[in-house]
Structure 1
Amino acid sequence: MKAVAFSEYGPPQVLQVIEMDAPQVGPGEVRIRIKAAGVLPYDCKVRSGWIPPTLTVHFPQVLGNEFAGIIDQVGADVTQFAVGDEVLGFTLLKGYAEYVLAAPEQIVHKPKNMPWEIAGGFSGNGQGAHMALQALNVKAGETVLIHAAAGGFGTFAVQLALAWGAGMVIGTASEQNHDYVRKLGAIPVRYGDGLLDRVRAIAPDGVDAALDAAGPEALRASVELVPDKERIRTMVAVDLAQKLQIPALFGTRTVARLAELVDLYARGKLNIHIRKAYRFDEAADAHRAVESGHGQGKVVLVTE
């Protein structure tokens, strides 16, 4: 099979399309012929040389943590899925490939009305936003501030906060993305000097919780705006969060969490925008797009 991998750490151009043996299904597994795989900031960080404590990299290393496709092999003891089922799910550093193995606890059935590109980029940012907002304990009627609201993560976070009953969502974004943020249901605010005053003008009664996917400046602003540090989380400025005594974000991807998000999509509560779908041989461009930090919605790879 073909896969996208890297054999040395570095910039996006270290990504190469390689040939490798396709995995064969074992007991308790299914094999999925991948149609689309999401590109996450996590993938870019690993490619650049960041290695979290629980991860081991083996060159050539395939990337990719979310996918969608069609089951073409079913192992012994699997009763929930059959050959031909359309599914989406999550994995660890195996998604940029034509085939992937998964346990039933990693996949759910794809809604018929969900395009492949959306399905392939659904699990990672969706579950991340779910974990973060759950940690913030967002309640009905509250005001929530989401930094980097136009990106793949922010797109999920804005809509999920509203689906859970937030009274107002304020989203920071570059000015060219303000119309997009409005369509998501948030009130857009531009970055830069005067951010605190702009947010306070929109929410004179204060901000109840804040979620940062932009970086240190946004996290510092959140501390000024949210009275309780327990109700602030960051996806990116981890070192600064520790210095500011903001709780770290912990959580686990689960099939139950993914199923809840898929149900929201099926009921029209989540509208996911695909910024661009790239071929495998364009994977370096896909990483550059994600690392630019100013786009709208999700970036995905497609196998055909």
Structure 2
Amino acid sequence: MWHSVQFSRYGGPEVLDMVEMTTPVPGSGEVVVEVMAAGLNPGESSIREGHVDKEWPARFPAGQGSDFAGFIARIGAGVTGWKTGDAVLGHTVRGAQANFVTVPAGNVIAKPERLAWEIAGSLYVAAATAWQAVQGANPGPGRTVLVHAAHGGVGVIAGQLAKRRGSRVIGTASLDSFDYLRQIGVIPVEYGPGFEERLRRIAPEGIDAELNRLGDNVLMNVDSTDTTVLQKIAGLVADRQIAIPVAAIYEFARVRDAYRELEAGHAHGKIVLCMMPVRYAHQKVHGIDLRASEATKDAPNRPPVPPNHEALPPVIGHRHRHPVASPAADRSHAE
């Protein structure tokens, strides 16, 4: 039986419901993707809670979710370059958190084989937002860039992009994120009382560019038709030129719990829903806390472990999916 996440009134995670769905039929120029993983973003909570209803009013019942990765299940008329079973990732507006999502064919790209499903399914909004922020900051050799919330889904990408441009990068974070930031070449500084003094000690000559508010309502600034940035970031992550931390993996049915963790504001990295989750070492799956921070805290006596992104092989789901042949197939799943 297939489901999609919907809400029929503004509110917290408790308003999210799992609603039964059938496999959609794509229109001209569209593809249907069977979703394997779908990421969470702070802007989705703002929309659901009604904080941005003037800019992005919800039409109830409203779907939920932006980023996704999965397999093409059906292809609409006029679509070329794709076939059923192709592994893809992409972005939609209010609908990624579902067993199936329908999008224009131009809104997806091929998933690199070495890119883990969890990361592929949570990449677009964070990647596009980080890319835009870094382009505006214009980092380069000899420049010092300050990235706020550098341990978050957007900040961790922005910091690494700025590093790749040759800048010295300082990132605000809590103490338990310091070691991870050092691993990716970002100089950590603790936020809170005394922040300005600590920052002056680290950067006595000042800051050349500051990337702030990277997590606030980022969905309003993302172009869902631009996949060029997504291709660049996905390739860098697949080639291990950029590391993306995954804070927690939740099975699809636990979407409310996933958003509760996101909205608590303590997650160090992306939170992801997975339709066919697999347990990993150093990962929080099904609410069992084996999280990556345990492997990356400052602990001189702890034996070295691989970085979190290296412990996430792309093994969720089957390597090849059988195409959804007909509505009759849908009924057989539901029976």
Structures share a fold, TM > 0.5? yes
Distance across 2 between alignment mates of 1:16 and 1:198: 45
Map of 2:223 onto structure 1 = 252
Aligned-pair identity in percent equals 40
Q: 1:236 and 2:237 equivalent?
A: no
Deviation at 1:63, TM superposition (A): 0.5
CA RMSD, Structure 1 to Structure 2 (Å): 1.9
SS at match of 1:95: coil
Is the 1:37–1:301 contact (alpha carbons within 8 Å) kept by the matching residues of 2?
A: yes
Alignment CA distance shift 1:38-1:235 (3 Å): closer
Structure 2 match to 1:200: 200
Between the aligned partners of 2:53 and 2:161, the Cα distance in structure 1 is 27
The verdict on how the C-alpha distance between 1:83 and 1:27 changes in structure 2, with shifts beyond 3 A counting, is: same
Q: Runs ≥4 in structure 1, deviation > 4 angstroms?
A: none
Distance 1:137 1:109 in 2: 29
Q: Is the 8 A contact 1:16 1:281 kept in 2?
A: no
Q: For residue 266 of structure 1, what is the aligned residue in structure 2?
A: 238
Q: Is the 8 A contact 1:9 1:48 kept in 2?
A: yes
The answer for the alignment partner of 1:294 in structure 2 is 266
Distance 1:236 1:3 in 2: 25
Query: Aligned partners of 1:42, 1:277: CA distance in 2, in Å?
Result: 19
1:250-297 superposed Cα distances (whole Å, 9 cap, x missing partner)? 563411111111122233211111111112221111111111222211
Q: What's the CA shift for 1:237?
A: 9.2
Give the equivalent residue in structure 2 for 1:229: none
- Whichever residue aligns with residue 242 of structure 2, its letter is L
Which amino acid counterpart does residue 84 of structure 2 have in structure 1?
V
State whether residues 42 and 215 of structure 2, in contact with CA within 8 Å, keep that contact through their aligned partners in structure 1. no
Which ranges in structure 2 are unaligned for 5 or more consecutive residues?
277-335
Equivalent-residue separation in structure 2 for 1:251 and 1:3 (angstroms): 23
Number of residue equivalences: 273
Which residue number in structure 2 is paired with residue 131 of structure 1? 132
Per-residue deviation, residues 3-46 of structure 1 (Å, max 9, x unmatched): 11111111211112111343211111111000000100011111
Whose helix proportion is higher, 1 or 2? Answer: 1
Q: Quick check: 176-185 or 190-199, which moved more?
A: 176-185
Question: C-alpha separation between the residues in 2 aligned to 1:67 and 1:50?
Answer: 24
- Cα distance, 1:182–1:286 mapped onto 2, change above 3 Å: same
Q: Does 1:72 align with 2:73?
A: yes
Cα offset, 1:55, TM superposition:
3.0
Aligned to 2:300: none
* 2:126 pairs with 1:154: no
Give the match for residue 305 of structure 2. none
Structure 1 residue runs without a partner (length 5+): 214-233, 239-248
Q: Tell me the alpha carbon deviations over residues 155-183 of structure 1, each in whole angstroms, 9 at most, x when there is no partner.
A: 111111112222x1101011121112212
2 CA distance for matches of 1:236 and 1:39? 13
Q: Counterpart amino acid of 2:244?
A: I
Question: 292-301 or 50-59: which moved more?
Answer: 50-59
Contact residue 31 and residue 99 of structure 1 kept, 8 A: yes
Name the amino acid aligned to 2:258: A
- CA change 1:28–1:286 in 2 (3 A) is same
**When the two structures are superposed, what TM-score results if normalisation uses the length of structure 2?**
0.77
Q: Does 1:109 align with 2:121?
A: no
With over 3 angstroms needed to count, the CA separation of the structure-2 counterparts of 1:98 and 1:155, relative to structure 1, is: same
Which residue number corresponds to residue 250 of structure 2?
278
Distance change in 2, residues 1:53/1:21 (3 Å): farther
- 1:236 maps to amino acid: D
**Residue 25 of structure 1: SS of its match in structure 2?**
coil
| TM-score, scaled to structure 1 | 0.85
State the distance in 2 between where 1:134 and 1:252 align: 15
Q: d(CA) in 2 for partners of 1:89 and 1:81? A: 14
Aligned to 1:222: none
